[in-house]
Chain A
């Protein structure tokens, strides 16, 4: 009964979060995790995830699955970021940008499945296929890229983008006790195109547009090793995910000559990530996980590129690598036919970004521009701050008489976006105090999973 009430309460909480959702602004699993179980446990899971959630957390975990499962879920949330105590929408209005692009509510659907391949003989219980889909509403790739002086949130407000993860788990336990390997790939869409505008013989403008949607595949490799009965070590490496937009604009035969313009941007970026995790089961009911993620943010090239061959380069973001410690706990209870679990976790997500500031202005070659002996600067308002992620959740499972196992899992996360004083004012106004940012990101989600043998 207790589990039932808890589940209902969690479901209601998630539904409330979803009800807030309006325009599609979403973030990828790198910000919130993927799947209600691992998200509730502080975005851990590298050592213990064992179903479709493992395609993100660690594909090696898939190899633990012995039954086929299909999961449907929703993730929703609300950004409550504040710039000088105000909603970012106010700042966007001041910059003449439609305020509906400010980070606000978002929601997305998740789908996952895990499918043990029923080979027999030497290959019995060795291969498990899995897939996970994170799909913002009606969007495959949503991107809003602004001039460098406009406040923007390249870390937490990464664009809405469909994330697809496909993975294969391999259980090598028959040959090396306790060892599982996993290989996966994530797929993202990117956009490339050309726009030719010219005057035809009748002095009428003609535009030719050509667009291509291309796919980007990025590998994930992972391993899990059971260290005795109670301990499991998990390691995973996720390749950098960079989905760019690349549009060339050529205007010809016009009275005014316009150089070829390249709109090149990198709206979707996850750095190389190396994660390691130790999971411990002191009792059958308790699971503890300790996790470290190292993200190679220092490679981040920034959102925008220069517009023409001889235009100035945008300022460099100068991000630095981060280490994110996380812990998670799960307490399972219940009988074989009916049971539940409670989960909690914490993650510290340090920001890779230096404060918003006046950054060195660069020329077309990337050298600092000098005017009358002094270096020129240009505003760069990439706004980010450390995050403290507190998460919780629970799940219920019911083994039906039809031979189906039904699971409902839910999670909530409260991400505190720590207060930060930046090195530049919000707007380019004389004597304005430096920008202060703080806020919350609230996330919730639930998933229904059906498993059968």
Chain B
């Protein structure tokens, strides 16, 4: 919601992420079914992500509501990684207005997972996990954009997307009974917690040098979310009614919960035939700036005076995150759209898309186990448009749907050490996805210029 505010005020301030949900899920059925190769000519609410400039292409007020679902089936050493499925509701709005020949537009896109707005959890170095699939897609995506089309062959747009980091500072006090810790202890808590707001920018331009050819350039800003938990405990250690000692615990755990790399996308859309559209996009993804997702921890535990019956460890640890060593990637996307049926009342489009994402993660040969692999994604979509609905709707109602299949290439991680905590890993997997959307577009009234 903050993003909406900030977009409108142009308070563009990137804070410090396939990491963000749309990188994995796509936004909107049409754009997703074209493999995301829509940077040059997107014009529905998904433009807030693919290219905000596209918001000002059309003059119709568009509202959309849809659902999406994604089921990752990933394996480590032949065992299912039991990743949580993801599903949710998507909402979109594009509100254009034409003044004196110049088209202005505002757009809003929301992907709201059913389960929650966001899920984060700390990573443990020696526990293998699919870093990009574990909890990262499980968060709301909210993006807004504003665009202008000063001349028919040029549109410009910018917007903001929003994410929310959380901080919790917790104070515990009370009495801790050694004899019956659960029954006889009495504890109280107070705390300060906050869910913050982080904004990151999207911006883009679309140009049409030829009637059949359109080009688009999109920049998506970097987002970095860090979650923090601080616990301070101060308790009287007792045995029955006897005070024995004072226990003090301080824990400070700070984790990078989400990193979305900045991205630059160059797209082209070519219509060699009236019924055929070919889109090709190439995305540069700045993965090399990814911080470590392992929590930086500081833990202090003291007991005063020391009790012979309580043996505190000699060394109470703190750990520092180790760098991930990711490399930047270039992601090619191809999307084909063909008009199969074209009558006065009904139009039907068939769509096909392909994406190849080479993994930014190196083979995990050290003691870290953040798993990822190169991925081929194939999408298939249909778009049905009902155009003869006057007088109730002067415009059209559309139903768009897609199916998505991603194949993660098998990858082998050979460890440098024969005796590390995890051992060699072989990963494999696939992801199934589907979505459907109902949208309505209201053409501007006749008197509008």
Contacts and interface: CB of A to CB of B under 8 A. Distances in A.
Direct contact of A and B (CB under 8 A): yes
Interface of A: 68, 70, 72, 101, 109, 111, 115, 117-123, 129, 133, 135, 138-147, 150, 162, 164, 189, 191, 193, 195, 197, 199, 202-215, 245, 247, 249, 254-261, 263, 265, 267, 304, 307-312, 314, 402-404, 452-453
Contacts of B118: 211-213
B168 A193 contact: yes
A146 B190 contact: yes
Interface in B179-198: 181-197
A452 B5 CA distance: 20
Nearest to B192: A144
Given A207-B253, A307-B172, A402-B99, 14 more contacts: A111-B8, A115-B93, A118-B61, A123-B392, A135-B5, A135-B197, A191-B193, A193-B168, A204-B315, A209-B122, A257-B178, A304-B189, A308-B187, A314-B188
Interface stretch (B305-313, B332-340, B350-358, B405-413): B305-313
Given A255-B310, A258-B176, A263 B191 contact: yes
Nearest to B126: A200
Contacts of B172: 261, 307
Contacts of A109: 5, 9
Interface of B: 1-2, 4-5, 8-9, 61, 63, 93, 95, 97, 99-100, 106, 112, 116-122, 124, 139, 164, 166, 168, 170, 172-174, 176, 178, 181-197, 227, 229, 231, 237, 247, 251, 253, 255, 257, 295, 297, 299, 301, 303, 310-317, 319, 390-394, 442, 445
A209 B189 contact: no
A8 B82 CA distance: 62
Given A146-B190, A209-B229, A139 B122 contact: no
B126 to A, nearest CB: 9
Given A135-B2, A210-B122, A255 B192 contact: no
Nearest to B13: A138
Contact of B116 (A214, A260, A267): A214
A247 B4 contact: no
B170 A247 contact: yes
Contacts of B188: 147, 304, 307, 311-312, 314
A256 B233 CA distance: 13
Contacts of B192: 101, 143-145
B88 to A, nearest CB: 11
Nearest to A314: B188
A213 B390 contact: no
Q: Is the interface of A mostly helix, strand, loop or mixed?
A: strand
Nearest to A166: B91
Nearest to B318: A205
B6 to A, nearest CB: 8
29 contacts: A115-B93, A121-B391, A122-B392, A142-B194, A145-B190, A197-B231, A204-B313, A204-B315, A205-B301, A205-B316, A206-B297, A208-B121, A209-B120, A209-B121, A209-B122, A209-B253, A210-B121, A211-B166, A211-B257, A213-B195, A256-B176, A267-B193, A307-B187, A307-B188, A310-B186, A312-B188, A402-B100, A404-B99, A453-B445
Contacts, number: 238
B122 A207 contact: yes
A111 B193 contact: no
A432 B197 CA distance: 43
Contact of A115 (B4, B95, B186, B317): B95
A136 to B, nearest CB: 9
Contact of A259 (B124, B181, B314, B391): B181
Contacts of A203: 313-317
A205 B394 CA distance: 65
Contacts of A213: 116-119, 139, 164, 166, 195
A416 B118 CA distance: 40
A256 B237 contact: yes
B216 to A, nearest CB: 26
Given A203-B313, A213-B116, A208 B124 contact: yes
B56 to A, nearest CB: 15
Contact of B122 (A101, A111, A208, A453): A208
A119 B392 contact: yes
B192 to A, nearest CB: 5
Given A144-B192, A215-B117, A256-B310, A118 B5 contact: no
A199 B251 CA distance: 13
Contacts of B319: 204
Contacts of B317: 202-205
A195 B392 contact: no
A135 B197 CA distance: 10
A312 B121 CA distance: 31
A278 B194 CA distance: 39
Given A210-B121, A211-B227, A133 B1 contact: yes
A452 B61 CA distance: 13
Nearest to B444: A118
Given A207-B251, A208-B121, A138 B186 contact: no
Contact of A311 (B97, B187, B445): B187
Given A120-B394, A147-B190, A403-B99, A256 B119 contact: no
Contacts of B166: 191, 211, 213
Nearest to B185: A259
B11 to A, nearest CB: 9
A140 B182 contact: no
A378 to B, nearest CB: 10
A211 B182 CA distance: 25
B190 A150 contact: yes
Nearest to A303: B190
A206 B118 CA distance: 23
B97 A452 contact: yes
B440 to A, nearest CB: 8
Nearest to A207: B253
B232 to A, nearest CB: 11
A236 B239 CA distance: 57
Nearest to B119: A212
Contacts of A199: 313
A59 B120 CA distance: 35
Contact of A118 (B124, B253, B445): B445
Contacts of B316: 203-205
Contacts of B4: 111, 133
A256 B314 CA distance: 15
Contacts of B247: 256
B47 to A, nearest CB: 18
A215 B118 CA distance: 9
Contacts of B183: 310
A120 B5 contact: no
Given A206-B124, A308-B182, A215 B189 contact: no
B170 A211 contact: no
A397 B21 CA distance: 42
B231 A140 contact: no
A307 B189 contact: yes
